[in-house]
């Protein structure tokens, strides 16, 4: 890859100190090209979430450098990192993490509100709202705009979270076990959506411990013992997963 969207080099991360120190990442190198659908797999507790958080600048690596479009992320100042989180990446969490007091629509709009000043928001509120509604329609949530997160099913909550991650049109979507808490059918719907987004040009890095889910991606990397290894992803496996994805369209 000549010009990857995202490039991580020698990422180290450990938790705790002294005897209690856990070295989770020990020199992870990773690249993602624009338009790619990358899956990171690995056993539970191997540090997949830790890696994804570092990629999304939600956390700092102890060592190593992360570049986005050739620009350093981890060593950038906090303001730059905040704007990186706001505009360049969208993050989908395993546990959705929606704000409970806000409606579905408001939750999706939050990154936009963060982007705009008070007056900027007053000028653009209508347009932003229209975009959010359109996005939610695409997620099949047009009937749930005014609902609170707790009134939604897990799948609906995760789709809301995806809409929130996408509202500022980020170049990169990071998804941490997006189906981890969903049953197979709802999980399939969510995965279908991700596939569809990817076909429309969205770069996605998805973390999962489920090989079947990972099979949907273009490329798979495996994280274990603190480093990633490339894994092939035969076309046959992808085709086998097709039926899972078709459910979205119906």
Look at residue 16 and give the partner it binds from Mg ion, ligand ATP, another protein, none, a contact being a CB closer than 5 to 8 Å depending on partner kind.
ligand ATP
Decide whether 63 or 86 has the Cβ nearer to another protein: 86
Asked if 17 interacts with ligand ATP (CB under 6 A), we say no
Rounded to the nearest angstrom, the gap between the alpha carbon of residue 219 and the centroid of all alpha carbons in its chain is 16
Q: CB count, 10 Å around CB of 202?
A: 21
Q: Which residues from 170-209 bind another protein, rule CB under 8 A?
A: none
Asked if 24 interacts with ligand ATP (CB under 6 A), we say yes
Residues 6+ apart with CB under 8 A from 50: 13, 24, 25, 59
Measured distance CA(69)–CA(80) in Å, rounded: 14
Q: Which residues from 20-59 bind Mg ion, rule CB under 5 A?
A: 49
Residue 11 near residue 27, CB atoms below 8 Å: yes
Decide whether 41 or 50 has the Cβ nearer to another protein: 50
Asked if 215 interacts with ligand ATP (CB under 6 A), we say no
Residue 47, beta-bridge partner list: none
Q: With CB under 8 A as the contact rule, which of the stretches 87-95, 133-141, 151-159, 198-206 interacts with another protein?
A: 87-95
Angle separating helix axes 118-138 and 154-166, nearest 10 degrees: 130
Look at residue 17 and give the partner it binds from Mg ion, ligand ATP, another protein, none, a contact being a CB closer than 5 to 8 Å depending on partner kind.
none
In terms of phi and psi (left: phi > 0; alpha: psi -120 to 50; beta: otherwise), the region of 19 is: alpha
Convert residues 109-148 into a mask of x (bound to another protein by CB under 8 A) and - (unbound): -xx-xxxxxx-xx---------------------------
Q: How many residues bind another protein (CB under 8 A)?
A: 33
Measured distance CA(236)–CA(41) in Å, rounded: 19
Asked if 91 interacts with another protein (CB under 8 A), we say yes
Asked if 11 interacts with ligand ATP (CB under 6 A), we say no
- Residue 147 sits at φ, ψ, to 5 deg, of -80, 155
Give the three-class secondary structure for 196: helix
Applying CB under 6 A, the residues found at the interface with ligand ATP are: 15-16, 22, 24, 42, 44-50, 209
Applying CB under 8 A, the residues found at the interface with another protein are: 53, 56, 58-60, 78-79, 82-87, 91, 93, 97-99, 101-102, 106, 110-111, 113-118, 120-121, 164, 168
């Amino acid at each position: 890859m000549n010009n990857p969207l995202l490039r991580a080099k020698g990422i180290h991360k450990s938790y705790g100190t002294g005897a209690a120190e856990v070295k989770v990442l020990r020199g992870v190198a990773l690249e993602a090209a624009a338009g790619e659908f990358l899956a990171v797999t690995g056993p539970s507790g191997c540090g997949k979430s830790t890696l994804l958080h570092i990629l999304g600048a939600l956390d700092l690596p102890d060592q190593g450098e992360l570049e986005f479009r050739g620009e350093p992320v981890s060593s950038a100042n906090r303001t730059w990192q905040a704007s990186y989180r706001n505009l360049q990446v969208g993050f989908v969490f395993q546990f959705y993490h929606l704000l409970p007091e806000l409606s579905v629509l408001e939750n999706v709009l939050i990154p936009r509100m963060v982007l705009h000043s008070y007056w900027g928001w007053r000028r653009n509120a209508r347009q932003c709202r229209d975009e959010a509604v359109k996005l939610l329609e695409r997620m099949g949530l047009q009937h749930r705009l005014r609902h609170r997160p707790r009134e939604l099913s897990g799948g609906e909550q995760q789709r809301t979270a995806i809409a929130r991650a996408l509202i500022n049109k980020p170049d990169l979507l990071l998804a941490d076990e997006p189906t981890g808490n969903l049953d197979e059918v709802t999980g399939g719907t969510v995965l279908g959506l991700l596939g569809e987004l990817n076909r429309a040009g969205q770069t996605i890095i998805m973390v999962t411990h489920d090989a079947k889910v990972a099979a949907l991606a273009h490329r798979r990397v495996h994280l274990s013992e603190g480093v990633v290894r490339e894994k092939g992803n035969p076309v046959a496996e992808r085709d086998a997963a097709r039926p899972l994805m078709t459910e979205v369209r119906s």
